[in-house]
């Protein structure tokens, strides 16, 4: 009997364990389904454009390929879907820093910067009171993704962190970002800190227009010299797989970019590449790991360079699918800031906007301009001619001639007086004075004749203009 009781207890215990296991599995399955339902599958919107080359299937939740020259999206998978950016936020921090301060400025670290140092976040171990140049700060910001440096840059440039954050959001709006809001300069997690793949591409595009930005974002290595509180150099090397020469994910033509990661954001990646004079920007957000983000970005670059070319239009150029010509495009003229702008469309998809250059007016021949001159301009021309008549045949101004004559006469007079005094001859003195009088009188007569000739010429010119106007 006891054996049966023990057997019954064992069976019941096994049943309880089995039921518990079933419940745990069911709960896990339900949780997984719920998590999956929170992520809406994102389609490739550019594949819906008629006649557009089919884009690659990337595994990152969202991603874009942008033509850096025109700002046109050649590929978009959820390009306007909001995601956490993580450390690619630092692209905006870099842009504001190079736009608002000198690289030679000294940055003094305070509690603001050093408080963001932790073992699980990017940093270079700065201390309160430590001084480092802005140049070194920016390389540390990009290459090492140092969060304490980002916070200190914000305080240095903006006066306060909050003011710098306000500057970030204002600048993002100026660039054209519509779904971006920053709350810090580093990208550390915050529910109200978000962006999109499209907006981050716009920020990167704006940055590439700045030479300082371009140089720093494309650096693979940098050595920070010893500071007032650190006797050792800090050697930095890029973590961007597509930029690092030794990486198996290195992309030929890569000119820079920024990585990012938090558990909430996943892996984010911004990359720029240039080949054959064409610059593209890729952004991938919420990838499973950095390798996936790099693979997706490579696929997008290859897609762009293999399927698109530049078409010359009035005032510039736009990217078009291979085989498409200007004749296949439609143009819509509009005005922006007082300038005429042509918008180019392919099957109702905007490829880019180009400012139309103003036509250069053809200058009129000088002879025609003189013959068509009105009365007011005629007076001005006559004055100019008069000024020309007041020069000698050799081009010497009248005033200079008079001064030379007076000088020569005075010199001659001095010589004669000296001779007269030496010989005590009054006749010589009288004769010299008489000669000077004759010479001066003759010059006055010549001057009066010249004035009379100019007056007659001016009267004839005036009469001729009147006749022409009557005709």
Q: Which residues are catalytic?
A: 87, 90, 145
Which letter does DSSP use for residue 352 in this model?
E
Let me know the angle formed at the C-alpha of 28 by 24 and 29, rounded to the nearest 5 degrees. Answer: 115
From CA 245, how far away is CA 362, in angstroms rounded?
54
Q: Distances from the Cα of 434 to the Cαs of 412, 428, 439, in angstroms?
A: 13, 10, 9
Residue 202's Cα: distance from chain center in Å? 11
Other C-beta atoms closer than 10 Å to the C-beta of 157 total: 21
Q: What are phi and psi of 224, to 5 degrees?
A: -85, 125
Q: What is the H or E stretch that residue 448 is in?
A: helix 426-470
What phi-psi label fits residue 459: left (phi over 0), alpha (psi between -120 and 50 degrees) or beta? alpha
The residues near 162 (Cβ < 8 Å, ≥ 6 apart) are none
**What contacts 271, CB < 8 A, 6 or more positions away?**
240, 242, 243, 251, 254, 256, 257, 281, 282, 283, 297, 301
Q: Which distant-in-sequence residues (6+ apart) come within 8 Å of 168 by Cβ?
A: 92, 93, 96, 182, 185
Q: Which long-range contacts (CB under 8 A, 24 or more apart) does 17-26 make?
A: none
In the 8-state DSSP scheme, what is residue 143? I
- For the four alpha carbons of 147, 153, 155 and 161, in that order, the dihedral sign comes to negative
Is the Cβ–Cβ distance between 110 and 123 less than 8 Å?
Answer: no
- Give yes or no for a contact between 191 and 181, defined as CB atoms under 8 angstroms apart: no
Cα-Cα-Cα-Cα torsion 63, 64, 65, 68, nearest 10 degrees, comes to: -130
DSSP structural state of residue 142: I
Cα separations (Å) of 163 from 87, 105, 276?
20, 19, 41
Bridge-based pairing of strands 330-336 and 339-346 is antiparallel
């Amino acid at each position: 009997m006891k054996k049966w009781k023990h057997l019954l207890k064992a069976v019941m215990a096994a049943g309880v364990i089995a039921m518990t296991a079933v419940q745990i599995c069911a709960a896990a399955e339900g949780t997984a389904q719920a998590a999956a339902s929170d992520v809406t599958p994102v389609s490739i919107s550019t594949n819906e454009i008629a006649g557009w080359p089919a884009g690659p299937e990337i595994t990152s939740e969202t991603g874009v390929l942008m033509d850096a020259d025109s700002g046109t999206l050649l590929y978009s998978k959820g390009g306007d879907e909001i995601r956490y950016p993580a450390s690619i936020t630092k692209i905006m921090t870099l842009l504001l820093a190079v736009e608002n301060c000198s690289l030679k400025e000294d940055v003094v670290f305070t509690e603001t910067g050093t408080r963001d140092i932790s073992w699980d976040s990017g940093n270079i171990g700065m201390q309160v009171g430590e001084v480092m140049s802005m140049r070194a700060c920016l390389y540390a910001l990009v290459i090492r993704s140092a969060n304490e440096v980002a916070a200190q840059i914000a305080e240095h440039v903006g006066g306060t962190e909050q003011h710098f954050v306000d500057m970030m959001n204002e600048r993002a709006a100026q660039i054209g970002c519509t779904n971006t809001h920053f709350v810090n300069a580093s990208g550390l997690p915050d529910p109200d800190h978000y962006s999109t793949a499209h907006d981050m591409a716009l920020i990167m595009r704006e940055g590439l227009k700045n030479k300082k930005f371009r140089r720093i974002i494309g650096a693979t290595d940098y050595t920070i010299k010893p500071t007032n509180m650190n006797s050792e150099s800090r050697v930095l090397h890029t973590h961007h797989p597509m930029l690092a020469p030794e990486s198996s994910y290195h992309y030929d033509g890569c000119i820079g970019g920024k990585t990012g990661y938090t558990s909430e954001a996943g892996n984010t990646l911004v990359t720029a590449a240039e080949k054959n004079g064409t610059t593209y920007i890729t952004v991938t957000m919420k990838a499973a790991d950095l390798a996936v983000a790099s693979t997706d970005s490579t696929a997008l670059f290859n897609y762009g360079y293999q399927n698109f070319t530049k078409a010359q239009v009035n005032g510039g150029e736009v990217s078009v699918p291979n085989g498409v010509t200007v004749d296949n495009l439609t143009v819509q003229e509009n005005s922006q800031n007082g300038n005429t702008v042509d918008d180019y469309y392919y099957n109702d998809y905007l490829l880019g906007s180009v400012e139309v250059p103003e036509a250069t007016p053809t200058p009129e021949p000088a002879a025609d301009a003189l013959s068509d001159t009105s009365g007011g301009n005629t007076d001005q021309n006559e004055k100019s001619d008069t000024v020309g008549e007041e020069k000698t045949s050799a081009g010497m101004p009248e005033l200079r001639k008079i001064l030379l004559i007076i000088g020569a006469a005075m010199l001659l007079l001095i010589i004669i007086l000296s001779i007269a005094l030496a010989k005590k001859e009054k006749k010589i003195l009288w004769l010299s004075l008489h000669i000077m009088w004759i010479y001066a009188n003759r010059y006055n007569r010549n001057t009066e004749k010249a004035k009379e000739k100019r007056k007659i010429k001016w009267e004839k010119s005036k009469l001729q203009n009147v006749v022409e106007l009557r005709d």
